[in-house]
Structure 1
């Protein structure tokens, strides 16, 4: 990823407007929430979201939390049950993330949900975050603004120490109040604690009038950040590192040497473009595949975002249970 000049923006109308403009053009801006600083990108723009993974050097595409300014905006993206709405009204804005069914017409980039049909969403309490969300007019996908595996940042200088030269700007809102990530609750079936965080479990259980299920998920396909990486496995079989597909196979190419590929993640060999296209093209090929027809995937370089792409492809190609 080429070096950028990372701007430090003040917490005023000028800084907010500048940050919103960068985000609307597909850039990356770190911004404060009450938990930690998040690294934001337009959640509708797959290429912008791919830039988050590139900047963080994140080795796999696990789901990201979408930040919105209010419950009305959240309901345009996710399907809310009565229980979900009760929790949102009790704890939003605040450090609670809900994992809910994704609306088919939400317009969220597939890379945000890692190809799943659910979405992790919250309304942050930090006034600067909410001002930014209103100013840019789009939902923001935002994991913590630090290199993958490093300590989450609670100040702008923490962000700069890890990501200066890799993102467009940091909106400096001072120190985060909570300092730990949001609590994540899954609402597919009985309410389940997916990650402890800034809202105490006891407060959530008091609101629900019942205990949370805190058992390990019964599936190895987690649906939220903070768990093992999820995978998207198409129905069609997947074969990797294929330079010459077999007769009848659908071929997912990468780079300029894949003439005749059914789809090409990036004809130019651009890993950010390939990451942005990955889930959409896998779904597209899965829809095209007839009974018994497989998907062959061209080699993808195993560096930078290529590591994350290959991680996901290996999961897609893994033997299926049963």
Structure 2
């Protein structure tokens, strides 16, 4: 299959592929999603096949407006309406109870709830409106690998497997949307993102935290709760804020293979890195770091001689909660320790 690259001015051609039941990757403000007609079961099944994604992992349904959501859910409670009015279009996914049979189990993982998002990326909103259907949109990458933040990342993973890619340049945020469960009596954050806990609590009041590990026989309510995510081929270790980076330099010098260092400019510019170290900048703060994290992991993944990647950690507050959520999954909770020095 030829994978075509569409410019934002070519949304009509991309929408034609969607209506034909093909897959088209699209940009959002967070990461690139893998789009298919959410009402076409055969098309949705192609998404799982292209990604190599377990079929019990539910898919987020991307809509162009609030009215579309009302076609599928049982009710819109006042608190849900406040969320939509405050954060949509934007990087917030809301889990809601479904009307029976309104979406196929291939979309919901067999659950009676579904996750909805109204992205704010103009080209993607045009795509949804032109196609005339809501789109499922898991990250447009091979399942388990770092999420794509450019069309080139998508092409690297899925060329020949999907019909097209709508290329509107790099994404703005770099980490996936916040997911909040509004299908239960107590709202709960299932995945942190750019819409922070503090942002949500200003609208809803206190929120529960359900970022739990899902059991093997349990269907997750949201993406990212059950399976390994965001992992490059190389081993990833987190360098916590309290670690002296001099020890990282010393450790790196001792390694027989090249080492990747993913850190802020303040760290990269402060030390004399040995010749066996390749560096990638996370910029200046948590905002630029969140934007660059997946791209940096992917950059090192293109160098098979790099077997270890050390990544700067941040305090898990505000946007740092989303950053550390993704980084801990990429690292399998492995943190760099001076005990690793030999």
TM over 0.5: yes
1:114 aligns with 2:98: no
CA distance in 2, matches of 1:10, 1:167: 16
- Which structure is richer in relative contact order (CA contacts within 8 A, separation 6 or more)? 1
Q: CA RMSD in A?
A: 1.5
Q: Deviations for 1:125-165, whole angstroms, at most 9, x for unmatched residues?
A: 10111011100000101100000111101111110011001
* Contact 1:74 1:122 survives alignment (8 Å): no
CA distance in 2, matches of 1:94, 1:216: 21
1:9 aligns with 2:10: no
1:105 to partner: Cα distance: 5.5
1:130 aligns with 2:125: yes
Superposition pairs of residues 1-322 of structure 1, within 5 angstroms = 4-12=1-9, 15-78=10-73, 79-104=75-100, 106=102, 108-187=103-182, 188-208=184-204, 210-215=205-210, 220-228=218-226
CA distance in 2, matches of 1:215, 1:38: 24
CA distance in 2, matches of 1:114, 1:57: 15
1:104 to partner: Cα distance: 2.6
1:215 to partner: Cα distance: 4.1
Counterparts in 2 of 1:221 and 1:167: CA distance versus 1, 3 Å: closer
* Contact 2:109 2:219 survives alignment (8 Å): no
1:80 to partner: Cα distance: 1.6
CA distance in 1, matches of 2:210, 2:116: 22
SS in structure 2 opposite 1:111? helix
SS in structure 2 opposite 1:39? strand
Aligned residues: 222
SS in structure 1 opposite 2:105? coil
* Contact 1:33 1:125 survives alignment (8 Å): yes
Q: 5+ residue gaps in structure 1? A: 230-322
SS in structure 1 opposite 2:14? helix
CA distance in 1, matches of 2:101, 2:54: 29
CA distance in 2, matches of 1:193, 1:101: 16
Instruction: Return 212-221 or 20-29, whichever deviates more.
Output: 212-221
CA distance in 2, matches of 1:72, 1:160: 33
1:109 to partner: Cα distance: 2.2
CA distance in 2, matches of 1:62, 1:29: 20
* Contact 2:55 2:109 survives alignment (8 Å): no
TM-score, normalised to structure 2's length? 0.63
TM-score, normalised to structure 1's length? 0.66
